[in-house]
A and B are shown apart, each in its own frame.
Chain A
Amino acid sequence: MHNVWLIARREYMERVRTKGFILATVLIPLFMAALVGGSAFFMTRTKTSSHIAIVTSDSTLGHDLQHQLETGKDNQMTVDLLQPSEATRAGLEAQLHTHAAQLAGYLWITPPAASGERPNFAYHARSAGDISTEDAIEHGVNAVMTHEGLLGSGLTDAQIKQITAPVEIDTSSSGNSTLAFGIAYLFFFLMYMVIMLYGMNTARSIIEEKTSRVFEVLLATITPDQLLAGKILGVGAVGVTQVGVWMIAAAALAASPMAMHLAGASGAHGILSAAQIGFFILYFIFGFLLYSSMAAALGAMTNSEQELQQLNMFLVIPLAFCMVMLFPTVRAPDSTLARVVSLIPFCSPLLMNFRTALTSVPAWEIILSVVLMSLTIAVVIWFSSRIYRVGILMYGKKPSLPEILRWLKYS
């Protein structure tokens, strides 16, 4: 165990000290913050604020529409109200063709030919691509027309407000499936990213030792499985450190007033329970160790980065399979299929964790999944250490499958 610790510590210290690590650790949260801040900034800015003109002879309709577009929920437009005439049209057209003018377009409302029919709306825009202004006008016109129609059929303002108010469905009693799904996705992408980054780093570090031939000095005192286990733990600890820093940064960011503002009221019942955080950490660590040991096996089999690239699908395929199984699991988290699949060691980190968020999973299933994952890690390390030793001491080439099987018999 002491040797495993020494290897892991060296690996950790050497990696944490590199500029690349420090940069990534600091820059990625900054980037995330910039992303959140930026999108918040644009979110407020995307309230349509264009300047348009409405040309109509119906002053009630005109005023309602102006009111809607200038002060409505998503709008902050500037609206000029004009009486229709040839001179008005010529003036507006002239403005649309001058660069200096602010006018984004004008809406020409032709009154209906017979009473009871709808008026005709024509929008003349400066730019055909100004979709958000068009949308805003369309929504505004719709709202105003509905409102007027309802008023016309004898309802009061209060009644209309009640009818048109949006409906909200409360799901808090059955658990928030959107949130669970969100967590599963977050977890999936976190796992994917970390496995690709650090799992591959484990493999790379093994290959690096092969090319620099350090392994021979190391193997004079320690066994290949100690070496591999140390590497998995050391590189893994680097990953956990980095992800930990990011998570803390993300939590700090989420607690900031800006994010609160963005999440709005729906964020209130989105707080995770302590048990869920515990499961998240447990399955994250085991998932990480499992996939890192797989990566170590790939590193043990290959001699160069290029060869490794060809094999990294062995890491991606199980992850992709988990993603496919996510849908049956979310639909029926207690079905036999979901229970069996979530016990497969390569899927447990994702699916068992997901199920704990959706339903109450029996303790024995959780314990079994942890036991199975631990066994798999041990077997993978045992397997890779054999391949590593025979492969490295014997040839300088990538073994074929029959060769690998034969090597397992060598001592």
Chain B
Amino acid sequence: MPIVELQNIRKTYDTKVAVEGLSLTIEPGTMFGLLGPNGSGKTSTIRMMIGMTVPDSGAVRLFGQPFSRSVLNRVGYLPEERGLYKKMKVLDQLTFLGQLHGLKESDARKRSRDWCERLQITEAIDKKTEELSKGMQQKIQFIASLLHEPELVIMDEPFSGLDPVNAELLMDTLIELRRQGKTVLFSTHRMDQIEKLCDSIALIYQGKLVLSGSMREVKSRYPRNRVQAVFSGDDSFLRSSHVADARVYAGIAEITLHSPEGAQPLLREAVSCGAQIMRFEVIEPTLEEIFITTVKGTPEFAEAGGRLAEAGGKTDA
């Protein structure tokens, strides 16, 4: 039973189509990445998922039932634009947000302290939010979305604005949550971040789903036909019949093959023709490359004038 199921949802604001015919499913216990450039409809999709807005058409199902607000206490949400009450003390703030998610006051208070310890911000507990650094505020917001131990954690751009140490800390926390059987969905436009994190992904562009599936599936759809070679000496192997395209930089060649099977024969050729091979690596396509390739193949890309991200910045905020 999927935890989240979007069926052909569509949302328009006046003349602007924010999301168009989007369907996706998120299986329990997975780490799911919702990817897309700025303005592609990630936030709009998430908002429909948790009932902040209602799709114009299509259906949203959470925990195997049609959407109802009663399940929202099982969902934790970290919005993209962080917001906390500036004048409130951290502990009061967390307790309040915990109570809004259905916790008892004493439980909310205790869990808030525990989480502050876990994320190494105990010194902030008695301070007002406005006295804290941005990174700390972000951690507090992060805690606020997890206090009620949600089964589904939705995080919109969770790592933006964090230094690498803190980003790592939060990433570890998310991994730990998944290990506990929670489902984690996060959106990002930084594809490199999620390559190692996500089990499944969905790529959206201009409000439409362009690619989805498990990470392995997605990657396997894109051939491993690229090779990076560091060498010296004879470069005649670069003109082999297996090679579709080759670019040579200072001692490094980036080679595109006609097919993935050409890699081994090419290596043999290179060695036999006397080139000194220091490194010969078959490169997996990165998500970013997959994304760009996919997007470039869509009609919307041409309509958008060949731009990946929306020119006007965030209009769907």
A221 touches B79 (CB 8 A): no
A215-B83 contact in complex given A220-B52, A393-B52, C-beta closer than 8 Å: yes
Task: Say whether B301 faces chain A, with CB atoms less than 8 Å apart.
Answer: no
- A216 located at the interface, meaning its Cβ lies under 8 Å from any Cβ of chain B in the complex: yes
| B311, CB-defined interface residue at 8 Å | no
Which residues in window 230-264 of B have CB below 8 A to A? none
B52–A3 contact, CB under 8 A?
no
Q: What string of 1s and 0s marks CB contacts (under 8 Å) between A353-370 and chain B?
A: 000000000000000000
A142 within 8 A of B: no
Cβ of A411 < 8 Å from any Cβ of B? yes
Cβ contacts under 8 Å, A3 to chain B: 100
Q: Identify which of A6, A209, A214, A219 contacts B52 (C-beta below 8 A).
A: A219
Nearest CB in chain B: distance from A408 CB, A = 14
Which of A10, A213, A220 makes the CB contact (< 8 A) with B50?
A: A220
Given A14-B87, A393-B47, A411-B54: A217 and B141 interface contact (C-beta under 8 Å): yes
A222 within 8 Å of B (CB atoms): yes
Pick the residue among B54, B77, B83, B96 that contacts A213 (CB under 8 A).
B83
Chain B residues whose CB sits within 8 angstroms of the CB of A396 once the complex forms: 317
Which residues of chain A from 1 to 24 have a CB within 8 Å of any chain B CB?
3, 6, 10, 14
Does A389 reach chain B (CB closer than 8 Å)? yes
Find residues 58-82 in chain B having any chain A CB closer than 8 Å to their own CB: 69, 72-73, 75, 77, 79, 81-82
B191 at the interface (CB under 8 A from A): no
**What A residues does B82 contact at CB under 8 A?**
213
Question: Closest CB of chain A to B14's CB: distance in Å?
Answer: 8
Q: Kindly report which residue of chain A lies nearest to residue B14, judged by CB atoms.
A: A406
Binary CB contact string for chain A from 205 to 244 against chain B (1 if under 8 A, 0 otherwise): 0000100111111111111000000000000000000000
B208 at the interface (CB under 8 A from A): no
Q: Is the CB of B317 within 8 A of A220?
A: no
Provide the bound-state CA to CA distance between A44 and B109, in Å: 60
Whole-angstrom distance between the alpha carbons of A219 and B14 in the complex? Answer: 22
Partner of A216, one of B83, B85, B96, B101: B83
Contact size range, A: 20 to 34
- Taken together as a complex, chains A and B put the C-alpha atoms of A238 and B99 apart, in Å, by 22
> Chain A's nearest CB lies how many Å from the CB of B129?
9
A10 to B54, CA, bound (A): 28
User: Across the interface, do B84 and A220 meet the contact criterion of CB distance under 8 Å?
Assistant: no
Question: Contact: B53 with A389, CB < 8 Å?
Answer: yes
B144 on interface, CB distance cutoff 8 Å: yes
Once the chains bind, are A6 and B141 in contact (CB under 8 Å)?
no
Do A6 and B85 touch across chains, with their CB atoms under 8 A apart? Answer: no
Residue of B nearest to A214 (CB): B83
* B292 is an interface residue with CB less than 8 A from chain A: no
B54 to A212, Cβ gap below 8 A? no
In the bound complex, how far is the Cα of B314 from the Cα of A396, in angstroms?
11
Main secondary structure of the interface of A (DSSP, over half): helix
Most B CB within 10 A of own CB, among A212, A213, A221, A223: A221
In the complex, residue of chain B having the shortest beta-carbon distance to the beta carbon of A403: B14
* Interface membership of B132, Cβ < 8 A: no
C-alpha spacing A394/B11, complex, angstroms:
11
Asked if B83 and A212 sit within 8 Å, CB to CB, the answer is yes
List residues of chain A with CB within 8 A of the CB of B13: 394
Give the size range of B's interface with the partner.
20 to 34
Q: Which residues of B contact A222 (CB under 8 A)?
A: 100
- A221 in contact with B101 given A6-B96, A389-B53, A411-B54 (CB within 8 Å): yes
**Least Cβ–Cβ distance between A111 and chain B, in angstroms:** 80
**Chain A 376-411 near chain B by CB (<8 Å), digits 1 or 0:** 000000000000010001101000000000100001
> Complex: how many Å from CA A52 to CA B97?
76
Contact status B54-A221, CB under 8 Å: no
* B17 interface residue (CB < 8 Å to A): no
- What are the residues of chain A within 8 A of B77 when measuring CB–CB? 217, 220
B271 beta carbon closer than 8 Å to chain A: no
CA distance A222 to B70 in the complex (A): 10
A407 nearest CB across to chain B (Å) = 10
Query: Among residues 24 to 79 in chain B, which have CB atoms less than 8 Å away from a CB atom of chain A?
Result: 47, 50, 52-54, 69, 72-73, 75, 77, 79
A3-B100, A6-B99, A396-B317 are contacts. A220–B85 as well, Cβ < 8 Å?
A: no
- Cβ of B134: which chain A residues have Cβ within 8 Å of it? none
Q: Answer yes or no: B88 CB below 8 A from chain A CBs.
A: yes
From A215, A216, A218, A406, name the one whose CB has the most chain B CB atoms within 10 angstroms: A216
A282 CA / B59 CA spacing, docked (Å): 46
Using a CB-CB cutoff of 8 Å, which residues 96-115 of chain B contact chain A?
A: 96-97, 99-101
- Select A217's contact among B75, B86, B97, beta carbons within 8 Å: B97
Tell me the minimal C-beta distance from A115 to chain B in angstroms.
85
Does B75 contact A213, Cβ atoms closer than 8 Å? no
With a CB–CB cut-off of 8 A, which chain A residues contact B73?
221
User: Can you pick out 12 interface pairs between chain A and chain B where the beta carbons lie within 8 Å of each other?
Assistant: A6-B100, A10-B96, A212-B83, A212-B86, A213-B79, A213-B81, A214-B83, A215-B83, A216-B83, A217-B97, A220-B79, A396-B317
> Which residues of A does B touch, CB under 8 Å?
3, 6, 10, 14, 209, 212-223, 389, 393-394, 396, 406, 411
Q: 15 new A-B pairs (CB below 8 Å) besides A217-B141, A221-B100?
A: A6-B99, A14-B85, A14-B87, A209-B83, A212-B84, A213-B81, A214-B83, A214-B84, A216-B81, A217-B79, A218-B100, A220-B77, A221-B101, A389-B53, A393-B53
